[in-house]
């Protein structure tokens, strides 16, 4: 993790100037082109400083580990892999050909070299790792938390696919209820999983896998998420399912669907809008829209979709707020008390996960009850099963 001093060094090196004060007072776009907006962990337009704030130290699968190849013995093969990866993209077939030659560690190194903030780029690698090892514990050890848990998500996709093999019918037939004991045990009792991830983080990863297994058919994936016994884990599962859907389908949906689809159509709208708003905000700023316009758009909504809009508004601006290009107050201190709570939590929970000191500094800019909300969010971080989720679980 990086100290605040390191953040300042990066700011000076990469931008050389701060956000003009007038941008906030006008309610204008903090970025112009939207390059700093939080949409998805794999988006290549995000600023390098946000990458630094969000990256965790990669796990290391040592020389005796599964699927490890000493990099000193395959220097040329590694260079060839990176060249092929750049030309072909992160495809499963390439990973399958390469993993025995340069190891999973070599493949991960190559992916992170080309996509330093990778996530979905490692999904197919996680699938290959599990297909080779056919053991969850060893597969999780290989992936650790590299590519921001993208490799782990791929492991879950392949593991649950094999669990459900032969039981999945047509797209709207749903996923098999036989997954219920598997996913509940996985996120609460599996030793390797709980050693590396919180139950909520695990459920989020399961959600990614379920949406993929449902072939991006939203309702069956959400129905499968409700196989979790705990409402909090069902909700976090929905965040993963929607994140997977939006990452894959937003470009197509943006052309023909409503602004917040599928969040305005299915259950758990807040879980959906948390991620969807990143793409909405990015397009809005690229069209020279203002922050005030976004706030007004959220205020025109009602119920849980309104909460989701404000929650996603905060999450989308996390990077900008972290580096001082806009303030938490400019983004979140609008609307009702509930609107402010979900917006602050959207911005701070993720920031605190990767840079708690910076999150606490941002919280200090607020006053009274808003500061207390912010400090609680910094303490809870992402995927907490002890925080009050009542605003997020409303229909």
Q: How far is CA 363 from CA 77, 234, 289, in A?
A: 48, 29, 27
Residue 35: the pLDDT is 45
The Cβ-side half-sphere exposure at 50, using a 13 Å CA radius, reads 28
Q: CA 25 to CA 273: how far, in whole Å?
A: 26
Number of neighbours of residue 254 by Cβ within 10 angstroms: 15
Cβ atoms of 319 and 11 within 8 Å: the answer is no
pTM of the entire structure? 0.79
Render pLDDT for 28-62 as a digit per residue (tens, 0 to 9): 656 433 445 554 443 333 333 334 333 433 344 44
The Cβ-side half-sphere exposure at 244, using a 13 Å CA radius, reads 28
Residue 3: the pLDDT is 41
- Structural domain boundaries in the chain: 40-165, 170-256, 258-395
Q: CA 100 to CA 93: how far, in whole Å?
A: 12
Cβ atoms of 47 and 78 within 8 Å: the answer is no
Q: CA 117 to CA 40: how far, in whole Å?
A: 10
Tabulate helix, strand, coil % of the chain (nearest 5): 65, 0, 35
Give helix 136-143 / helix 92-114 axis angle, nearest 10°.
Answer: 40
Cβ atoms of 38 and 315 within 8 Å: the answer is yes
Q: Which of 154, 63, 69, 55 is nearest to 104 (CA)?
A: 69
Residue 266: the pLDDT is 97
Residue 144, by phi and psi: left (phi above 0), alpha (psi -120 to 50) or beta?
left
Q: Which of 90, 100, 105 is nearest to 142 (CA)?
A: 105
Q: CA 40 to CA 54: how far, in whole Å?
A: 12
Q: Which of 346, 334, 325 is nearest to 391 (CA)?
A: 346
Q: Exposed, middle or buried, 338 (CB in 10 Å: 0-12/13-18/19+)?
A: middle
Torsion sign (Cα): 110, 138, 42, 14: negative
Render pLDDT for 110-165 as a digit per residue (tens, 0 to 9): 999 999 888 889 999 999 999 999 888 888 889 888 898 889 889 988 888 877 66
The residues, ordered by sequence, that sit 6+ positions from 259 with a Cβ below 8 Å of its Cβ are 280, 297
Number of neighbours of residue 100 by Cβ within 10 angstroms: 11
DSSP 19: P
Cβ atoms of 271 and 280 within 8 Å: the answer is no
Cβ atoms of 274 and 346 within 8 Å: the answer is yes
Q: CA 385 to CA 117: how far, in whole Å?
A: 26
> Which residues of the chain are modeled with pLDDT < 70?
1-65, 164-174
Residue 387: the pLDDT is 94
Q: CA 367 to CA 321: how far, in whole Å?
A: 17
Cβ atoms of 128 and 99 within 8 Å: the answer is yes
Residue 29: the pLDDT is 58
Give helix 199-213 / helix 218-225 axis angle, nearest 10°.
Answer: 150
């Amino acid at each position: 993790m990086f100290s605040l001093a390191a953040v300042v060094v990066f700011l000076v090196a990469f931008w050389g100037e701060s956000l003009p004060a007038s941008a906030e007072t006008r309610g204008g776009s903090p970025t112009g082109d939207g390059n700093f907006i939080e949409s998805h962990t794999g988006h290549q337009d995000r600023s390098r400083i946000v990458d630094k704030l969000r990256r965790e130290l990669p796990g290391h699968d040592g020389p005796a580990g599964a699927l490890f190849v000493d990099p000193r013995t395959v220097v040329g093969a590694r260079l060839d892999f990176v060249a092929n990866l750049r030309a072909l993209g992160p495809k499963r077939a390439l990973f399958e050909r390469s993993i025995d030659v340069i190891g999973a560690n070599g493949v991960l190194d190559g992916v992170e070299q080309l996509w330093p903030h990778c996530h979905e780029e490692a999904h197919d690698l996680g699938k290959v790792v599990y297909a080779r090892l056919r053991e969850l514990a060893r597969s999780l050890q290989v992936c650790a938390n590299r590519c921001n848990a993208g490799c782990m998500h791929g492991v879950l996709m392949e593991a649950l696919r094999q669990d459900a093999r032969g039981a999945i019918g047509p797209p709207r037939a749903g996923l098999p209820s036989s997954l219920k004991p598997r996913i509940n045990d996985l996120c609460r009792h599996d030793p390797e999983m709980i050693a590396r991830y919180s139950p909520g983080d695990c459920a989020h990863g399961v959600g990614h896998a379920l949406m993929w297994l449902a072939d991006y058919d939203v309702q069956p994936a959400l129905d499968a998420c409700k196989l979790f016994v705990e409402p909090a884990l069902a909700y976090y599962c929905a965040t993963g399912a929607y994140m997977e859907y939006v990452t894959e389908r937003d470009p197509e949906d943006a052309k023909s669907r409503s602004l917040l689809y599928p969040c305005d159509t299915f259950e758990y709208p807040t879980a959906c809008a948390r991620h969807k708003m990143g793409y909405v905000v990015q397009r809005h700023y690229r069209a020279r829209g203002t922050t005030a316009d976004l706030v007004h758009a959220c205020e025109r909504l009602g119920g849980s979709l309104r909460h989701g809009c404000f929650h996603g508004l905060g999450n989308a601006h996390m990077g900008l707020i972290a580096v001082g290009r806009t303030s938490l107050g400019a983004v979140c201190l609008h609307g009702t008390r509930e609107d402010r709570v979900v917006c602050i939590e959207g911005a701070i929970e993720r920031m605190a996960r990767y840079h708690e000191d910076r999150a606490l500094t941002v919280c200090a800019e607020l006053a009274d009850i808003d500061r207390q909300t912010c400090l609680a969010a910094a303490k809870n971080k992402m995927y907490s099963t002890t925080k009050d989720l009542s605003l997020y679980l409303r229909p």
